[in-house]
Structure 1
Amino acid sequence: MAIFAEQIRLAYPTPQDLKDRRWIYVPYDRFTDRTGPLTEQPASATGIVIVESTAKAHRRPYHKKKLVLLISNMRHFALEQAARGCKVIYQFSEESHARALLELQRSLPLPELSMMQPAERELRLDIEAAILDGLKIKLAPDTTWLSTIEDFLSVFGPYKSGRSYVMDRFYRTQRQKTGILMDKGKPRGGKFSFDAENRKPYKGLPLIPQPPVFAPDEVTNEVITLVEQTYPHHFGLISNFNSPVTQQDADLAWAFALEHLLPHFGPYEDAMRDDELQLFHSRLSGLINLGRLLPSQMTADVEAACAEGLIPLASAEGFIRQILGWREFMRHLHQQTDGYRLLAGTVAQEAGSKPSRDVYAGATPSALSASLPLPAAYWGVKSGLHCLDTVVAQVIEEGWSHHITRLMVLSNLATLGGFSPRQLTDWFWFAYVDAYDWVVETNVLGMATYADGGLTATKPYVSGAAYINKMSNFCGHCQYDPKRSTGEGSCPFTALYWTFLERNESVLGNNFRLQMPYTTLRKKSPIELVQLRARAQKAIDELQQLPHLEY
């Protein structure tokens, strides 16, 4: 770290700076000077503290590219603030973030700090514990969000067990409050959602533009070496790192997506391809969750481009629904349910799980009694399922795949097979560059696996091979036939789907959205049901027998 350490050393404060400046702690996911405490006084009156903690990085086998993305953005943000005129204390620590702050405050000494309310539950707990030990820090509202907890409570009220939380209700209210894509109180185009229009498979046209390249600079190369040496056994590949790590590059990536990707995003947002893994997705969720790109600016840009006719309304609405709807909704739900821990008294828990005194231990709801160990295929051991192997290989390479491959390949298979929702959640948490507790736990334990018993979804998001075949080209390159559900060469997704419904009929049989498939299931002959069960069990056994890798 000699290059970066030498550069940032020049911004270290004098004793007088410690007394005269306002000191702000910038956490590991809020690299912005466009909102919040850093905007409230001139740079010449500002000091910032940043902690690079190996304790946090060692907590899980985080994808190596996630660590590079986060640490390089962290270091570049520190340099950017120094260039503005801020004084910077950049602390390398083997302790937690809050413990490092406490030690700094005692040793320098530092005056009272300010910070935005932490987004992650883990950091909130860390800060709260340090405050009890004497850390002096004032929490300010996190203005990177588009909504407040009061907005959420105005729709649903305080958390109550047994209540259903439907994102669409919250989204409509936020559209009306913000006026985004609204005309005189009415949704532009006559409806709030154009989701039904955004379900086309991609057949090769329009052509997908080549994104800009962000070659690592000397600071990033130093981080890459650090991650290789310090976290050698972590998940994923580190080669070919190509992501924005400066504010300028983050803005360039967004400008490219806005002009070249968003105009075609909507119709193909649910499509999947093995030869065009990104399609028209922006791949900017990691930067949004680090604070590099602000949702307020992004939604304003998309709305303006839509008004100018540069982005079709269906594409604009689909993108804004992800940002203003799902992203905000899920973080509120995580906070209100304490990361789903409050479900323990009303939703069945995963077999073998026990109450833990560890405040960081994850919630273990499993409304459908799923508990099988997550197969080694998720770590890159080839399963023979082309869709699964393709998506996992992409995640190992990039630390990213788009939302439909996450939902309808990775999570679909885990749900159909009865694999542990908690293990799947933890896998997503360390495997994806954009995963933090507030987004991954609610999405995976809720929408993706129905482990929450329907708190966030009116039915499980599951399908057989027909959906994957319709929305992708995966099946055309697979050894299994998506049109066969039993017998030699049949795709196991379909047998897994029917046996999933059969296995969970006591829980799901009266679900109004599943009446058609249950009617079909009940018409199947005893012989066909036996064959479906055998095919599904064979697939589960084969996945369970794959040798595990160690991380």
Structure 2
Amino acid sequence: MTTPHWLFGDQLGPHFLGPGPDGADGPGRDAPVVMIEARSVFRRRRFHRAKAHLVLSAMRHRAAELGDRVRYVRAETYREGLAKAVGGGPVTVCHPTSRAALRFVESLDHVTVLPPRGFLVAHEDFRRWADGRDGQRLLQEDFYRRVRRAHDLLMDGDSPAGGRWNHDHDNREPPPKGVRALDVPAPYRPREDAVDEEVRDDLDRWEKDDGISFVGRDGPRRFPASRREALAALRRFAEHRLAGFGAHEDAMLAGDPVLSHSLLSSSLNLGLLDPAECVELAEQAWRSGDAPVNSAEGFVRQIAGWREYVWHLYWYFGEEYRHRNALGHRAPLPDWFLELDADAVTARCLSTVLAQVRDTGWTHHIPRLMVLGSHALQQGWDPAAVTDWFHRCFVDGYDWVMLPNVVGMSQYADGGRMTTKPYTSGGAYIHRMSDLCGPCAYRPTDRTGEGACPFTAGYWAFLHRHRERLEGNPRMTRAVRGLDRLRDLDELLEERAERGDAAP
């Protein structure tokens, strides 16, 4: 009899069954499949309700596709569910995406762990590259070029397409003045079905009778929950939205949170899409003249560059990385932030982005980094708590995704091991890259007084607090020296102290 294969809830695409890449070991094509819905996951942490809905809907849609081949078990824990599904019999599973899950499956004598799937680069290949850096920083750009060459992505022979490896310079345009939304076709939106209705009924019952609590709102499902839906979303992006993606990749509009972004991160991280098919379709769009090179390259860099880089750093840096706190930030997250209470916030940029998270469980990378993450950094919030918040509150958030992104990129808690400087700014950046500052009660140019922008004041307070550490950083020296020109620094710091962790 063929050994059953266990699919975790983020291993839902066809590439998690059958032989692996290049014929690597994998479950038999017709192997029985085990899927376990463990309610304890939702007891341990307070997830966004839309995220819980998406994951459960995706799992149940996949089970319906597999039909009689799958044994779908609903249990309190994974251990209990696995016992119900296979007893003590042998089972295979692809390498899980979190350290906790890997420790668990490796502790079970009857479980055989197969290599990871859903990524372009093998662990051993990344480790060889990283170990060979001989103490140099593991720059994402260097890794990205290696991936491009190895997979022949956007290459013209030995040269990068368009003559440059990185077209980021062309992808930092502010939004066009006076527009409420970009003039691009709408993204793919799925239609809910009976599976979604069942999931919503179950979540309602859990909240009412089982003491399970969620945060955020569960409106109509916005993200794919099946392979068919994910492929439709990918095709719509490549055919109708990729062309306009690049230029305004970093822009923000209050009335258009999606802009030209792909909305494919949750599908990739659920395993509904394989990264190879995403980047290949983007390259096809460029080669056929349907998308400019800066848009195709920007999208490819997000997946073959950043996503791969973050995945491998999660494993390469080790468990100790989780506890890094180089800046000594210890402040707890305030209730208004934990509850996604956008209505308690006056600052329009932060209120707008927090409402997007509350209502959808998603916002694109610049609001995450330069609004939510920047505010947390300026306030000195505990980076472990910030990481947990991002993990729980975003539909595409998983441990491997958020740990490097938040600890390293957003909160600079690793002291520069991943990035060359802290990613934070005053209100001027937000004003330049968005339409969020105009109607705001605060003014991006003001550091003190009733109209003081919390990001502008927060930026200077952050530099002051960490002056000794940052003034030796070549990328921060000029900014830190700017503190000496601030005649109102004492007033700024006093006002910040009085405000504390109140909603800005």
TM-score (norm 2): 0.92
User: Which amino acid counterpart does residue 156 of structure 2 have in structure 1?
Assistant: D
How far 1:55 moved relative to its partner? 1.2
Structure 2 match to 1:188: 161
1:384 maps onto 2:346 in alignment? yes
Structure 2 match to 1:123: 101
1:211 maps onto 2:202 in alignment? no
1:372 corresponds, among 331, 334, 338, to: 331
1:178 maps onto 2:151 in alignment? yes
1:540 maps onto 2:486 in alignment? no
Give, in whole Å, the separation in 2 of the partners of 1:158 and 1:539: 48
2:368 corresponds, among 393, 406, 421, to: 406
Q: Paired residues, what number?
A: 489
Structure 2 match to 1:16: none
Partner secondary structure for residue 77 of structure 1: helix
Partner secondary structure for residue 37 of structure 1: coil
| Segment drifting more, 224-233 vs 119-128 | 224-233
How far 1:143 moved relative to its partner? 2.8
Q: Deviations over 1:49-73 (max 9, x none)?
A: 1001101222211111111111111
Structure 1 match to 2:448: 486
| Segment drifting more, 67-76 vs 112-121 | 112-121
How far 1:377 moved relative to its partner? 3.1
Give, in whole Å, the separation in 2 of the partners of 1:246 and 1:435: 18
How far 1:401 moved relative to its partner? 0.6
Structure 2 match to 1:10: none
How far 1:478 moved relative to its partner? 1.0
User: Which amino acid counterpart does residue 148 of structure 1 have in structure 2?
Assistant: A
Give, in whole Å, the separation in 2 of the partners of 1:506 and 1:202: 36
User: Which amino acid counterpart does residue 168 of structure 1 have in structure 2?
Assistant: E
Give the 3 Å change call, closer, same or farther, for CA 53–182 of structure 1 in structure 2: same
Question: Is the CA contact 2:310–2:404 (under 8 Å) kept in the aligned structure 1?
Answer: yes
Give, in whole Å, the separation in 1 of the partners of 2:112 and 2:446: 61
1:166 corresponds, among 139, 160, 164, to: 139
| Segment drifting more, 510-519 vs 199-208 | 199-208
Q: What is the 5 A alignment of 1:322-361? A: 322-339=302-319, 341=320, 343=321
Q: Please, which runs of 5 or more residues in structure 2 have no aligned partner? A: 21-25
How far 1:214 moved relative to its partner? 1.8
Structure 1 match to 2:273: 293
Question: Is the CA contact 1:159–1:336 (under 8 Å) kept in the aligned structure 2?
Answer: no
1:28 maps onto 2:9 in alignment? yes
Question: Is the CA contact 1:25–1:115 (under 8 Å) kept in the aligned structure 2?
Answer: yes
1:262 maps onto 2:221 in alignment? no
1:531 maps onto 2:504 in alignment? no
Give, in whole Å, the separation in 2 of the partners of 1:450 and 1:471: 22
Q: Please, which runs of 5 or more residues in structure 1 have no aligned partner? A: 1-19, 344-362, 547-551
Q: CA RMSD in A?
A: 2.1
| Segment drifting more, 151-160 vs 317-326 | 151-160
How far 1:98 moved relative to its partner? 4.2
Seq. identity, %:
35
1:60 maps onto 2:51 in alignment? no
How far 1:163 moved relative to its partner? 6.0
Which aligned runs of 4 or more in structure 1 are off by greater than 6 angstroms? 38-42
1:394 maps onto 2:370 in alignment? no
How far 1:213 moved relative to its partner? 3.3
Give the 3 Å change call, closer, same or farther, for CA 294–260 of structure 1 in structure 2: same
Give, in whole Å, the separation in 2 of the partners of 1:23 and 1:541: 51
Give the 3 Å change call, closer, same or farther, for CA 212–186 of structure 1 in structure 2: closer
1:149 maps onto 2:134 in alignment? no
Structure 2 match to 1:499: 461
Give the 3 Å change call, closer, same or farther, for CA 242–524 of structure 1 in structure 2: closer
How far 1:212 moved relative to its partner? 3.4
Give the 3 Å change call, closer, same or farther, for CA 143–213 of structure 1 in structure 2: closer
Question: Is the CA contact 2:50–2:221 (under 8 Å) kept in the aligned structure 1?
Answer: yes
Structure 1 match to 2:23: none
Question: Is the CA contact 2:424–2:459 (under 8 Å) kept in the aligned structure 1?
Answer: yes
How far 1:239 moved relative to its partner? 2.5
Structure 2 match to 1:315: 295
Give, in whole Å, the separation in 1 of the partners of 2:461 and 2:454: 11
How far 1:417 moved relative to its partner? 1.4
Structure 2 match to 1:416: 378
Partner secondary structure for residue 52 of structure 1: strand
Q: What is the 5 A alignment of 1:75-90? A: 75-82=60-67, 87-90=69-72
How far 1:258 moved relative to its partner? 1.2
